[in-house]
Amino acid sequence: MLNILILSALSKELNPIRQYLESRYISRKKVNLNFNKISIGFKNDQVYVENLIREKSIWMVINAGTAGALDNSITINDIVFPRIFVKAGGKGLSGSDLLGEYAPIMDDLPNDWSRRILYTSGTAVTSAEGKRTIIAETGAQLVDMEAYWVAVFCQELALPFCALKVISDNAELSSIFKFHRNLSRVADKLAIELKTLVDLIETVTN
C-alpha cells in the first residue's frame, strides 16, 4: 500500500486538504493518506514526525501549503511544483533528486503547474527590497517558511519528498491581509490539485 504523509503548517491549509482527499481515497485499497500539522519552520517537529513516519511506515512525504510570489511570473492562485528548494546561504536541493524512485512523475505533471525555485525564509518577507535580495541571491520565484527544512529532513531519512504550493499573496506589506483574504479559496484549490499529485504517485507505484 502506498503510504503518504502530508504535512502543512496551518490548520486552515490542512483541514480542507484532509476533508477533500479522505472522501476520495477512503475506499481505495492501494493508497493510505496520513495528515499532520507542523509548526512554521518545522524544526520543533522533527522528532515527533520521525516517530510518526516509523510508526505509520510512511513511504513518502508531501509538504502542501501556501507560498508568496516573489516576482510577476506567478500570480495568486497559481499552483507550483518546486523544482529546486533553497534557503539563505544554503545548497540548493533538486526536486527530482528528492523524489527518488518517484521522479518519473516529473514527466507527467499538469501543464498549468509552474516548476519554480522555492526559497524558505526564517521570517515573513513583506518588502520589495527583501524580495529583490532573495531573487538576486537565489533566483527564487516564490517563498515559504518550511519546505526546505522538510526536504532536508526527508533527505536525511532517505525518504522521497516533494512539495505542492499554491500562491496566496505577493510577499508585500499587504501580504497578511491578502493571505487571510485568499486562504480559504486557495486552500480548496490546493486540495483538488493534491489529488492529481497523489494519483500520479500511485501510477509510479503500480
- Per-residue pLDDT tens digits for 120-159: 999 888 888 999 999 999 999 999 999 999 999 999 999 9
**Could you tell me the three cell numbers for 82?**
518546486
pLDDT at 28: 67
Q: Smallest Cα–Cα separation from 83: which of 107, 59, 118? A: 118
Residue 7, SS3 per DSSP: strand
pLDDT at 158: 97
pLDDT at 126: 84
pLDDT at 7: 98
pLDDT at 177: 76
Sequence-ordered list of residues with C-beta below 8 angstroms from that of 164, at least 6 positions apart, any chain:
62, 63, 64, 79, 80, 81, 190, 193, 194, 197
Q: Give the Cα separation of 95 and 99 in Å (integer).
A: 6
Query: What domain range includes position 118?
Result: 2-205
Q: Give the Cα separation of 27 and 101 in Å (integer).
A: 25
pLDDT at 89: 86
pLDDT at 76: 93
**What is the DSSP code string of 44-86?**
GGHHHHHHHHHHHT--EEEEEEEEEESSTTS-TT-EE--SEEE
Which domain CATH number covers 175?
Answer: 3.40.50.1580
H/E stretch holding 2: strand 2-8
> What is the domain count for the chain?
1
84-99 residue pLDDT tens: 999 998 789 999 999 9
Q: Are 37 and 18 in contact (CB under 8 A)?
A: no
Mean pLDDT by 10 residues, the chain (206 residues): 93 94 78 93 93 96 97 94 94 96 96 97 89 94 97 97 96 76 91 96 84
pLDDT at 180: 80
